[in-house]
Amino acid sequence: MMLFRRAQGQDADAIFKLAEQCGVGMTSLPKNKELLKQRIAWACESFDKTITEARHEYYLFVLEDTATRQIIGTSAIESATGFGTPFYSYKRSKRTRFCHSLNIRSDYEVLSLVNDNQGRSELCTLFLEPSWRKDGNGLLLSRARFLYMARFPERFAPIVIAEMRGVSDDQGRSPFWDNVGRYFFHMSFAEADKLTLATNKQFIADLMPRNPVYITLLTAEAQAVIGLPHPSTEAAMAILMEEGFRHNNYIDIFDAGPTIEAPLNQIRTVISSHLLHIKNISDEVGGQQYLISNNEADFRATIAQVVLSRKKDSCVISRDTAALLQLSEGDCVRVSPLHLPKQGMPVKDKA
């Protein structure tokens, strides 16, 4: 079975191996052991804090194959972007000019440097080892975060965003960076990507152009990738779009990857999830498959067969599932359909 759980200090080496595979552009998954250990320590501290308002927390999760104890993926949530340093985006907007004497109308788009997404919760650090991209593992790794958010909404902002990785090649070359960023930063895309995590981002404030970037002045190659996800990110983005995320006309300032957003209380896994008591734990369960999590601070989730009794707010799960999620009869679990309904069911937290 696959176990989605909180990252721990002893996971550092396994997460570092994943980081080495993820390529350029995954800013929040550093290929630096010391930085990675710092982020894991930050996550451990965040999980254990008593929270009344989202401030500067980071929740890092791993996906573990329990048969081999191998860590095969990571995902995370940052509670509030830009708490200690500005959170920069490019806002894509339209402008129009008229010259009535010449009967000419000019429509064009510009990119403006903004901090509009400051203070929002951000989905980040999603990476699944390529050979494990099957059997619903990607769904679990991405969507189990929403079960955690449904359980602890006070830890997050009302709006959730995801900055999707933009287009770059196997050598880390970004068409957008090569046409914009490198002229002002005088470094490669990979170098700028590393500095984003290793510094307080002051270099962005110091070097980024203040005036709007006129899209029509960029090369065709650069224009073509604005707002497009990296090919390896398309599946992850599709999962979020199915959750109700939508484009918000912001892009990443380095690789032009799209930013998408959704209100926390409208994310489909959140509104289709509900709490149930465990009525019985059986040797075998033949019900439908669900995303299922415990209801504890030591958060655990998986995909498992569950027999629901919505009228009695109860369910039956297997012994394997109970052991994996550390559950007993009478405990509460949160479940959400593995395949989302067209209309989300309201949360029923009567347990």
In this predicted model, what pLDDT tens digit does every residue of 189-204 receive, in sequence order?
A: 888 888 877 776 788 8
Mean pLDDT by runs of 10 across the 351 residues of the chain is: 97 95 78 91 96 93 97 97 89 95 95 95 95 95 98 97 93 92 91 78 85 96 97 94 96 96 97 94 91 96 92 91 96 94 48 36
Are residues 318 and 181 located together in one domain of the fold? no
Answer whether 80's CB lies under 8 Å from 119's CB. Answer: yes
Indicate the residue among 266, 301, 324 that finishes a domain.
266
Catalytic pick from 56, 100, 186, 230?
230
Are residues 252 and 289 located together in one domain of the fold? no
Q: Is residue 119 part of a domain?
A: yes
Are residues 143 and 168 located together in one domain of the fold? yes
Is 230 one of the catalytic residues?
yes
Are residues 253 and 296 located together in one domain of the fold? no
Indicate the residue among 266, 283, 309 that finishes a domain.
266
Are residues 283 and 227 located together in one domain of the fold? no
Indicate the residue among 215, 233, 266 that finishes a domain.
266
Cα-based distances in Å from 341 to 87, 312, 346: 34, 21, 12
Domain count, the chain: 2
What's the predicted TM-score (pTM) here?
A: 0.92
Are residues 237 and 128 located together in one domain of the fold? yes
CATH of the domain at 195: 3.40.630.30
pLDDT value of position 206: 87
Question: Which residue range forms the structural domain that includes residue 293?
Answer: 273-337
Burial of 187 (0-12, 13-18, 19+ CB in 10 A): middle
Q: Is residue 96 part of a domain?
A: no
Are residues 77 and 157 located together in one domain of the fold? yes
